[in-house]
Amino acid sequence: MLRVLNIAFLLPLISSAAAASLGDNVATVQNDSAHLHASVRVSHFSNYDVHEMQSDTGTVREFVSPAGTVFAIAWQAAAVPDMKQVLGSYFDQFQQAARAQRVRRGPLVIQEPGLVVKMGGHMRSFSGQVYVPQLMPSGVREQDVK
């Protein structure tokens, strides 16, 4: 079955595991903890902060630059998050890239200029990460977004 078709099928069934969108302001991260009924732990690094929200359904990490911009989101949860909400203005680019990929099983990996999406898993165990390379603070590597 087409991976794109699988994603399109899953989108209406998935929970909203994250509410901040890429490129949003840090203020949206604070709203997410209330929306998810999650406990929040903020970790400070030299050039970014990670707001980690832990709920009964999983963990969502929102990466925030010193300028207060959400530059990446990662999750490990029982369901795939609402990708339209997570990606915000990048959702159309995501859809086009997902449609253009060849038919195959396995994780979805999109590496476009301006957007990286990696996601996979199986029922009740999904993980992924999305980020915008241009929004990442200097010194932050792909391996840091997890």
Q: Cα-flanking dihedrals φ and ψ of residue 40, to 5°?
A: -120, 135
Tally of structural domains, the chain: 1
* Residue 76 pLDDT grade (very low, low, confident, very high; cuts 50, 70, 90): very high
Per-residue pLDDT, 50: 94
Is residue 25 in some structural domain? yes
* Residue 55 pLDDT grade (very low, low, confident, very high; cuts 50, 70, 90): confident
Select the more confidently predicted residue: 18 or 22.
22
CB-side neighbour CA atoms (13 Å) of 84: 8
Q: Which two tokens stand for residue 103?
A: 């038919």
Percentage of the chain exceeding pLDDT 70: 79
Is residue 29 in some structural domain? yes
Is residue 97 in some structural domain? yes
Q: Which letter does DSSP use for residue 102 in this model?
A: P
| Structural domain range at position 112 | 3-138
Is residue 144 in some structural domain? no
Query: How large is the average pLDDT for residues 41-47?
Result: 93
Give helix then strand counts, H and E, for the chain.
4, 7
Is residue 23 in some structural domain? yes
Q: How many CB atoms sit inside 10 A of residue 77's CB?
A: 23
Q: DSSP secondary structure string, 39-76?
A: EEEEEE-SS-EEEEEEETTEEEEEEE-TTSBEEEEEEE
Q: Which letter does DSSP use for residue 95 in this model?
A: H
Select the more confidently predicted residue: 117 or 55.
117
Is residue 94 in some structural domain? yes
* Residue 66 burial (C-beta neighbours within 10 Å; 0-12, 13-18, 19+): exposed
Is residue 123 in some structural domain? yes
Q: Cα-flanking dihedrals φ and ψ of residue 86, to 5°?
A: -60, -45
Is residue 51 in some structural domain? yes
Query: Strand, coil or helix: what is 76?
Result: strand
